[in-house]
């Protein structure tokens, strides 16, 4: 995995974790700083980061619904 792909994956993981409420309280401030750093690092690749995260979040929601219906 190259640096660009690693940064994109890390950013997606942070966004999905925040959206699901897995990170709360004081941790949000630290994770937000980490997210900003990753976003700045991705700028050198001129990577648009919003779309892949939204796609990943939508896919995760679909998987959760499918798991719930299987139970």
- Per-residue pLDDT reduced to its tens digit, 3-33: 989 998 999 999 889 888 898 888 888 998 9
Question: What's the CA dihedral at 64, 30, 9, 6 to 10 degrees?
Answer: -160
Q: In the chain, how many domains are there?
A: 1
**Tell me, what's the pLDDT at 23?**
86
* Cα–Cα dist 67/71, whole Å: 7
pTM: 0.59
Cβ atoms of 15 and 38 within 8 Å: the answer is: no
Domain, as residue range, for 45: 3-70
């Amino acid at each position: 995995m190259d640096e660009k792909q690693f940064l994109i994956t890390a950013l997606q993981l942070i966004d999905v974790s925040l959206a699901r409420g897995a990170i709360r309280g004081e941790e949000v401030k630290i994770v937000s700083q980490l997210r900003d750093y990753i976003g700045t690092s991705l700028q050198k690749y001129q990577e648009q980061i919003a779309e892949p995260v939204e796609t990943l979040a939508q896919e995760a929601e679909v998987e959760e619904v499918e798991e719930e219906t299987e139970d």
